[in-house]
Structure 1
Amino acid sequence: MSHPLDLHQLAQDIKQWGLSLGFQQVGICDTDLTPEEPRLQAWLDKQYHGEMDWMARHGMMRARPHELLPGTLRVISVRMNYLPAKAAFASTLKNPRLGYVSRYALGRDYHKVLRNRLKKLGDMIRERCGDTQYRPFVDSAPLLERPLAAKAGLGWTGKHSLILNREAGSWFFLGELLVDIPLPVDQPQQENCGRCVACITTCPTGAIVEPGVVDARRCISYLTIELEGAIPQEFRPLIGNRIYGCDDCQLICPWNRYGQLTDEDDFSPRAVLHAPPLTELFAWDEATFLRITEGSAIRRIGHLRWLRNVAVALGNAPYDKEITTILASRLGENPMLDEHIHWAVSQQQDKRAAYAVEVQRPQQKRLVRAIEKGLPRDA
């Protein structure tokens, strides 16, 4: 830097610039995440990362931001709300014939939105400070973004492992900007979950194994997004109609009563993904999938995993002869998909049998009453 800077004023200016770029909050912290290293190692040792090999491959680098950008002194952490005005949580989750997409993925891919804004923030800082170095991150590198956000005062780590904020709940994205400027740091917020364990008890698959610790191998978000192969059969009935991600632990959280709605057009739900019939989604060919999910985070799972997820949801739907026909129409396309189709068809057949029993039961009851009354059997 060519001349001394008022670092306190610069920190305030950076926060104002962040707000002007559409972030709802900006915080600053140092790079020391030493207390997180044993927790991260214990999580990895228990194989809670599942098939996300990159989590283990980068090891403790995730807790050392200065190794990602040598010379880094501070992390500027930001949050941006994503909850749309008409999220339609209940109406979609309660209708098993519709597909539920986690609400963060209904609009444009947040990675691109936040990264572009963070780059603009970095450019503004460089314009003020001269030849300073910066690097933006949005889930794009081995970085413990949640502990950094908590350290920067954006909120505290909830028992579901997400960052919670008193004024905004948890319906927001996080992003980071590494800089080589010794800015004054912010203070962390106090933990405010108290004795509440709603997120732990409501998780359909029991993925939150202890406060703040998630076994990804059981998490529906992992199973429908990160897992590349077959979904374990034990979890398929528990997934319900969730075809991309899961919001249950957030939906039940009392702090999300204060969740703030987004005003970003990029995060507005795409109508075709908002509350779509499962039968329509399963009919998409790859070209249709790629066209509809262009610019969306959903595209990264690919057409095959998309069909896998929808097949599971169709298996969990109420019995419908059309569902069995639609499922069978894609047999032979891929062995992994075939496995899920056979499972889903079996589920539908079981429900058909149960339905037949329910239909016959009232007739049997009438027959018994008629016999008891000594009436003709056709009465």
Structure 2
Amino acid sequence: MRILISGASIAGPVLAYWLDRYGFDVTVVERTPAPRKTGGGHAVDLFRPAMQIVEQMGVADQIRAKATGTEALVLRRPTGKPVTLDLRKLFTAVSDNHVEIMRDDLSELLYNATCSDVDYIFADSITAIDDGEVTFERSRAQRFDVIVGADGLHSNVRALTFGPESEFTTWLGAYLAIFSVPNYRELDGVMEMIVDSGRMAGIYSAAHMDDARAGFFLRLPQPLDYHHRDIERQKQLLHNHFHDMKWEVPRLLAELDHTPSFYFDSIMQLRLDTWSRGRVTLVGDAAYCPGPAVGGSTSMAVVGSYILAGELAAHAGDHAAAFATYEREIGEYVRRSRGFAVTAAKSLIPRGRLEVWAMVNAIRLINVLPAPVSRAAAKLNTKGVRLHDSIAVRDYTGFDRMRE
């Protein structure tokens, strides 16, 4: 059975690994000209279910070795003394098995775990899908039994199969920008941020990185007018909304003209009633992004990919039956993540001085609570901060190489 996956970031390689392990013939097509390189991207989180999956893939130790090592957040306000949050205490309360890693480090490790067994096609993309017939931008047309869109929030496969992105997205009221800057503050295990009404900005680095990342969060009553590929317009919007912010913000904005990597997007949520149509299905952010930076989408992408591969194996390649079960298995996780993301998006960026005050005092409370008390309190909230650790995933490993 031939399976085509579009996207070689996170969900794509995880799905490819398990499909190959179950004996399927797998091809991955990726529009970038080469595999993503170590040290790029932004920090992402893997929680217990995802870590259990990468443990079975044999890459968990490598992932832990590439952890960012960020242990503290120093939060500043326009007035008042900074407060410091012990992130180790926060992470252990949220998850019993958590790793924060730079996205491109994770992508590279997952690619390396699959590239010797899976056929990767770089610098190409899908232009048309007709039942199982797939037309590519550069390669010759081919037929596949299953086509999977693992190509992110702005999925090409989803657009070709389901229609315009605007029909399935809900804006959560905020924007996020991440870009590379020199680590001129010589950060080591510390993230520094300044928060004000409706906006936050900061800088962090990671172990194994020579540079740093600037992060900007913006909350607005109405959406901004821009195209998601118009980088110059996005940079100008950052200048417009942050030019009067103090501390290190002017220095960080000055780096926009020189940064080698830049990411800007709305914090929006995908809401599709189904992720499958015919021989096509979606996984990860292409299917059910709960919202960048607020919903644990990277961990969900790993779990969803594992479930999809397992259901295709369990149903012996009957894609219609596999897709239906896959959607049932991941559905509750997606719905709960959507709800959590909406709440998180509202609380992530304070709207006014009262919410800034509440954020600062929440940090102070976390710092004074003993770690066992923090963990015990968090475990009572499986719909919130413990959402990801509370997910139970079926064991599909009995289907290893079932088709050989």
Same fold (TM over 0.5): no
TM-score with structure 2 setting the length: 0.23
Q: Which of structures 1 and 2 has the larger relative contact order (alpha carbons within 8 angstroms, sep 6+)?
A: 2
